[in-house]
A and B are shown apart, each in its own frame.
Chain A
Amino acid sequence: MTEVRLSHSDQTVAENATDTATAYEPTKRRRSFGRWFADTGWRHVVAIVVSIFAIFPLLYVLSASLNPQGTLTGSNQLFSAIGIDSYVRILTDPQIPYPMWFLNTILVATITGFVMVFIGALAAYAFSRMRFAGRRVGLITIVVVQMFPQLLAVVAIFLMMSAIGDWFPAIGLNTLSGLILIYLGGALGVNTYLMYGFFNTIPKELDEAAKIDGAGHARIFFTIILRLVAPILAVVGLLSFIGIVNEYVIASVMLIDPEKQTLVVGLTKLVSNPRYADWSAFSAGAVMAAIPVVVVFLLLQKYIVGGLTAGATKG
């Protein structure tokens, strides 16, 4: 591994050197435009074309959100008018409980993300560090059950939650707590499997040393392991958070009252008929909903990419 990295950096240095060398001799560079294009130029063409494809819809929604006019047609002239009227409109319109949607989404996604990671980490610790009867079967069950996504069982979930609602209204249909519980049903899943792989990379000698010093299993878990695996916890937590922000099926079936709904349910209903929808208010809502997610994603992108490829090499 170290050898690879060495030769890698050597090469970069060498290439940088040639780059600077050509930069000082512009005549030579101009003459070799054809070669430059064949080598790197076409790469820029591809990158620019795909970048336009990638960011165009995002620019469009940003422009539509800044357009005070409401309709879909009115949003077609990009950045022709700029104002924050539509932001004010969606935040204050008594017909659209957007602030509640936002709050509900943050609440559900944050709580679920945290608890899911915690429960998953507990299980990953047991699977990684302890040897007990049924361990292998347990791991296989987790992977296999995850193959059947929860949304497939949405009918059964709906009927079960409406029965539970008759007995315990606090966690039945139309409650955020019930929705969180359903999501937590998936706490032992691919995430645990991913965390299990990461836990295995933490040397067992650390636990054993702590054990000799008299630490119990709980203390080892909370004070040593959880700190060492923090990066994977962050990645799994963030991916769960984003997954829950996007979850429509169960949320739409569970949450009935408009002010109980989450962003994905509310905003989808809002533009269910694009002809009559207040398109710029929707766009404003979309921009406000997306910005926190995008910012967090971009800040943590290195870890996320690491997590994805870690999963890739292990999965």
Chain B
Amino acid sequence: MTDTLTTASEDTAPPSPRQRSAARMADAAGGRLRWLIFKIALLAIVDAVAVFAVFVLFLHNEWLVLALVAAVTILVNWIYFSRKQIPAKYLTPGILLLIVFQIFTLVYTGYIGFTNYGTGHNGSKDQAVASLMRSSLVRVEDSPTFDVTVVERVGELGLLVTDPTDGDVSLGTNLQPLEPVDDVTMEGGKAVAVDGWTTLQFADVLSRSNDIEALAVPYSDDPNDGAIRTQDGQKGYLYVSTLEYDAAAGTMTDTTTGTVYTDNGEGAFVSAEGEELLPGWQVFVGFENFVKAVTDASIRGPLLSVTAWTFVFAAVSVASTFFLGLLLALVFNHKGMRFKNTYRIMLILPYAFPAFLGALVWAGMMNESFGFINQVLLGGAEIPWLTDPWLAKVSVLLVNLWLGFPYMFLVCMGALQGIPDEVNEAGVMDGANPWQIFRRIKLPLLLVTVTPLLIASFAFNFNNFNLIYMLTGGGPRMEDTAIRVGHTDILISMVYKVAFTGENRDYGLASAFTILIFIVVALISIVSFRKTKALEELN
């Protein structure tokens, strides 16, 4: 440090103290002030967004998130106004995004893996009770007619209700039961506006009639008291659910049939006959998803075969692309060859072409009955490229070879050019033939350079979702399995299918699979880091 400082100041004549202070003043007058204004403006925007967020979260009673947002905002302000936290100024944006969208989601995935989250188990128990009761609302005969006004605040609709018997005015939303309000504007005995809320005009009421019909404002904290609903935004009626909720006993009773549904402890109300009320709610189920994945034969079988295929797919893909790329690099590593650049451009085109389009185009060409390969190249043969379990695997590997070899070709070209010619000459001097020079000298030197890239390529292919999903869709489908999974599915596409396709979305099981993949990826990473010593080189 000191060495460089002295040399630097020797090279450029050291400015005199007067020059230095003059420069500093000029800076302060020009650049610094502009920077300061710019910085304050940026922070003002951040703070404005944060205040808005706090306000919205306050309305939704999300205290934990609110506290986090407030704390982060204060921290950010402190960092950027402080004179000392220079590294933090550069790292904060990236770290915040990393924590929210990567680290938090990883932790959250871990949590979901231990729940029954999925179709029919989306929310909390209160939400499930509210939703069940809401779905079975019937209008109470002879109930009074309430005067109502539809009001809105930050995109949320509410009902301003005037009680016909005593003239009391109260306000509530879908989530917030009716509560008395002050500061209302009355018009002919009916409340028409309230401070802090916007009254919807007649035209708005018409255009948002669907939202308004979905409004069911709970009459009180007790869901059994029913809810106020309106059809036209003018008159409201009391609706009561045919289900009756007993919070103490944890039971739901259907008042029309008399059936009692009890909480089964697994996130649903179940009748004595085993009939389940849906939606249920989300509960912590411990290792149930993992146990199911390991013990249920109709899940374990596919899981094992998918895992094996994932490894085969990733390994063969890396090997095939590397060897074709290396072969081509060796072929081109010859000085007298003509048209080298033309060939090179043609060979790297598949790499430049967006990969998902490549996979979709190949899927079309490999179509069993109409595709180019069967129809034209093979004269009408109906070869099931994508629908036979084994051929589909071959097709996947072939298409991935097409997608991947240009990258390896480029990398190997670069690495070969990095090997000095002296190595070759020395080999020739010692009487080695070209194959020996390649096998014993060049290949080991090359591998030193490309091994980290081969590991990265393996990791990439291990999760090469696009290719599988767009070429075969994971198909052909396996038979006798409890989950939707096909013969060419790799782990990540299986997770996607379990979570997002089909009638039953099982987020809990999908996340449990994800955790298993995490463990595998972590093991591979540790081993490869040990091997390449990549982390030790960080200084």
Contacts and interface: CB of A to CB of B under 8 A. Distances in A.
Q: Do A and B come from one complex?
A: yes
B97 A181 contact: yes
B277 interface: no
B360 A126 contact: no
A168 B355 contact: no
A43 B331 contact: yes
B200 interface: no
A169 B422 CA distance: 64
A31 interface: no
A156 B108 contact: yes
Contacts of B296: none
A267 B357 contact: yes
A309 B415 contact: yes
B155 A294 contact: no
A147 B521 contact: yes
B105 A208 contact: no
Interface in B246-280: none
Contacts of A60: 361, 365, 372
Interface stretch (A68-76, A85-93, A227-235): A68-76
B518 interface: yes
A135 B90 CA distance: 12
Contacts of A122: 90-91, 93-94
Contacts of B334: 39-40, 43
B346 A147 contact: no
B245 interface: no
A168 B421 contact: no
Interface in A270-302: 271-272, 274-275, 279, 282-283, 286, 289-290, 293-294, 297-298, 301
Contacts of B20: 214
A8 B473 CA distance: 50
Interface residues of A, number: 120
B218 interface: no
B496 A126 contact: no
Nearest to A182: B101
Nearest to B491: A152
Contacts of B104: 160
Given A4-B420, A156-B108, A72 B371 contact: yes
Nearest to A305: B410
Interface stretch (B133-141, B303-311, B335-343): B335-343
Contacts of B91: 122-123, 126, 138
A293 B361 contact: no
Given A123-B90, A154-B499, A308-B414, A8 B102 contact: no
A34 interface: no
A156 B511 contact: yes
For the complex of A and B, 6 pairs with smallest distance between CB atoms: A185-B101, A309-B414, A126-B90, A297-B352, A188-B94, A153-B105
Interface of B: 4-5, 7-9, 12, 14-15, 20, 23-24, 27, 31-32, 35, 53, 56-57, 60, 62, 65, 86-87, 90-91, 93-95, 97-98, 100-106, 108-109, 112, 117, 155, 324, 327-328, 331-332, 334-339, 343, 345-358, 360-365, 367, 370-372, 375-376, 402, 405-407, 410-411, 413-415, 418, 420-422, 449-450, 452-453, 456, 459, 463, 465-466, 469-470, 473, 492, 495-496, 499-500, 507, 510-511, 514, 517-518, 521-522, 525, 532, 534-535, 538-539
